[in-house]
């Protein structure tokens, strides 16, 4: 039998935070890698975040003091490991305003979306159905549905975005008109355009027409308050490593009633109640979706990261990053020959850009030599780049430790970069 799961609070409390604004220069000191390299500007947090000491300590402590397999042993160390692992699940639930039995551990956003496609999608979709995705999905939000659509014969539809990088919501009516859309897959924060999409509005629209909503929250959970109930989501995915946690751990949240109806997607140990040679029965939620030994330390590390975020205050984080991002957008827009990709009303902490006459890989290499780490390529969003008439772009992305001084260095280096390559 599995250990009882602590239940998370159904709502994330939202209290005004009257502490002084966060100071990124001070927070930088909490990241051992950054503290050891004072001149290094890490501007690639949208790809993966650096890890604060609190997370590294939690991982180290788990392996030193609590390491055993979970849900199996009856000796005290195994019980301690199980309590740490299930306690971490409860913390994720609280963080999202969910119930612990609605939190399924995965390897990350990609695996979470594949789980929805292979479990709910395979059981529910067929010819005559449609899945509506947006034109700004990360490949993780697209390809699992392409694979399943080819097998099950349903249609994929797309909600486009406009020149500013905003979804064209006025097209929703026509896309839903024939009543075939069963699921909407929408990225909460675009990893290229920066757009924060109005998920609440889309979810209300979809629900009125009987469709479910899957939210890719990979780029928002680390940066703002994300409450699954107020978003109106049915499924929500995020990755631990983009939220200051370890790689290899992530979360699929889904409404309990939905998870109950969904079949397992992987078979093996721990996801079963009983096994006979020919046939098995399934474990209760959420274990039905967690076959095999999980990433126990990863779960513990992710919970430490979420605690750390909460100790800073999620509204303070959002405010500090909003102000830093506005500053960065202003500085970058003033660089001659630089075109920002997207001018959304509400932007997450990132800015992708094209520097006239310079290949994005050359931009990233030039900046890299100056101690500035930015990403270049299609950022796993090729359709977005195709829509913008580009093969690739460069992207600077920010975190709680990003300083205005680093943004100034970035803007000044980009001016030199363009001069160097022209
Ligand atoms: N969705 C978005 C918006 C992302 O930015 C990313 C990663 O870049 C993913 C999904 C995939 O996340 P992971 O590789 O952690 O599964």
Q: Which domains does the chain have, with CATH numbers?
A: 63-310 (3.40.640.10), 314-421 (3.90.1150.10)
Mutate to test the pocket of ligand 1, among 46, 243, 376, 380 (most ligand atoms within 8 A of CB): 380
Query: Cα(66) to centroid of ligand 1, in Å?
Result: 30
- Closest-CA residue to 297 (of 240, 348, 259): 240
Strand partners, 216: 187, 237
Q: How far apart are CA 149 and CA 145, in angstroms?
A: 6
For ligand 1, atom 4, the nearest C-alpha belongs to 218
3, 380, 390, 415: the catalytic one is: 380
- pLDDT number for residue 14: 55
For ligand 1, atom 7, the nearest C-alpha belongs to 47
User: How far does Cα 56 stand from its chain's mean position?
Assistant: 20
Query: Cα(57) to centroid of ligand 1, in Å?
Result: 25
Q: How far apart are CA 28 and CA 38, in angstroms?
A: 9
Q: How far apart are CA 273 and CA 282, in angstroms?
A: 5
Alpha helix stretches (DSSP H) within 42-75? 53-61
| Closest ligand 1 atom to Cα of 239 | 15
Q: How does 360-391 read in b/e, with b if 16+ C-beta sit within 10 Å?
A: bebbbebbeeeebbbbbbbbbbebbbebbebe
- Closest-CA residue to 266 (of 237, 289, 247): 289
Query: Cα(275) to centroid of ligand 1, in Å?
Result: 35
- Closest-CA residue to 167 (of 145, 146, 140, 190): 190
Would you say the pTM of this structure is higher than 0.85? yes
Contact assessment for residue 341 and residue 388, using Cβ atoms and an 8 Å cutoff: yes
| Closest ligand 1 atom to Cα of 247 | 15
For ligand 1, atom 5, the nearest C-alpha belongs to 191
Kind plus residue range of the DSSP H or E element containing 238:
strand 235-239
- pLDDT number for residue 7: 43
- pLDDT number for residue 8: 44
Instruction: Give me the long-range contacts of 175-179 (CB less than 8 A, separation at least 24).
Output: 175/132, 176/132, 176/205, 176/206, 176/209, 176/211, 179/209, 179/210
Contact assessment for residue 399 and residue 45, using Cβ atoms and an 8 Å cutoff: yes
- Closest-CA residue to 271 (of 5, 4, 71, 6): 71
Run means of pLDDT, 10 residues per run, the chain, 422 residues: 44 68 97 98 98 98 98 93 98 98 98 98 98 98 98 98 98 98 98 98 98 98 98 98 98 98 95 95 96 97 98 97 98 98 98 98 98 97 96 97 98 98 92
Query: Cα(377) to centroid of ligand 1, in Å?
Result: 14
Cβ atoms within 10 Å, residue 48: 16
Q: How far apart are CA 212 and CA 184, in angstroms?
A: 6
- Closest-CA residue to 188 (of 122, 232, 155): 232
Q: Is 417 a known active-site residue?
A: no
Instruction: Compute the C-alpha angle 183/184/186, nearest 5°.
Output: 150
Please give all residues whose beta carbon lies within 6 A of any atom in ligand 1, as ranges: 108-110, 138, 140, 187, 191, 216, 218-219, 239, 380
Mutate to test the pocket of ligand 1, among 218, 224, 350, 385 (most ligand atoms within 8 A of CB): 218
Alpha helix stretches (DSSP H) within 117-241? 122-124, 139-152, 172-176, 199-208, 228-231
Query: Cα(76) to centroid of ligand 1, in Å?
Result: 37
């Amino acid at each position: 039998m599995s250990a009882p799961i602590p239940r998370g609070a159904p709502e994330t409390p939202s209290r005004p935070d009257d502490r002084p604004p966060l100071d990124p220069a001070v927070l930088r000191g909490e990241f051992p890698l950054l503290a050891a390299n004072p001149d290094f500007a890490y501007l690639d947090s949208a790809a993966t975040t650096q890890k604060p000491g609190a997370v590294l300590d939690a991982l180290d402590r788990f392996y030193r003091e609590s390491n055993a397999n979970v849900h199996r042993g009856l000796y005290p160390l195994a019980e301690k490991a199980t309590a740490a692992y299930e306690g971490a699940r409860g913390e994720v639930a609280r963080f999202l305003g969910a119930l612990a039995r609605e939190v399924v551990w995965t390897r990350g956003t990609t695996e979470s979306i594949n789980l929805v496609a292979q479990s709910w999608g395979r059981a529910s979709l067929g010819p005559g159905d449609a899945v509506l995705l947006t034109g700004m999905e990360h490949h993780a939000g697209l390809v699992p549905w392409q694979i399943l659509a080819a097998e099950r014969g349903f249609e994929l539809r797309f909600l486009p975005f406009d020149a500013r990088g905003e979804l064209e919501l006025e097209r929703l009516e026509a896309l839903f008109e024939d009543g075939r859309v069963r699921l909407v897959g929408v990225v909460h924060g675009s990893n290229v355009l920066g757009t924060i999409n109005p998920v609440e509005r889309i979810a209300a629209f979809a629900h009125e027409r009987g469709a479910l909503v899957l939210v890719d929250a990979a780029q928002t959970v680390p940066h703002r308050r994300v409450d699954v109930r107020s978003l109106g989501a049915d499924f929500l995915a995020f990755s631990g490593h983009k939220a200051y946690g370890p790689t290899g751990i992530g979360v699929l949240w889904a409404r309990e009633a939905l998870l109950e109806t969904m079949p397992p997607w992987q078979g093996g140990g721990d996801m079963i109640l009983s096994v006979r040679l020919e046939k098995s029965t399934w474990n209760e939620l959420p274990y039905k979706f967690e076959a095999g030994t999980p990433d126990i330390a990863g779960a513990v590390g992710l919970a430490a990261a979420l605690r750390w975020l909460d100790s800073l205050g999620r509204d303070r984080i959002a405010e500090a990053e909003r102000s830093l991002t506005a500053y960065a957008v202003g500085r970058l827009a003033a660089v001659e020959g630089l075109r920002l990709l997207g001018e959304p009303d509400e932007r997450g902490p990132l800015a992708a850009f094209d520097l006239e006459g310079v290949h994005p890989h050359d931009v990233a290499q030039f900046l890299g030599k100056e101690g500035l780490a930015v990403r270049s390529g299609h950022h796993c969003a090729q359709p977005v780049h195709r829509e913008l008439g580009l093969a690739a772009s460069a992207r600077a992305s920010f975190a709680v430790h990003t300083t205005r001084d680093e943004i100034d260095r970035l803007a000044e280096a980009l001016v030199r970069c363009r001069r160097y390559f022209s």
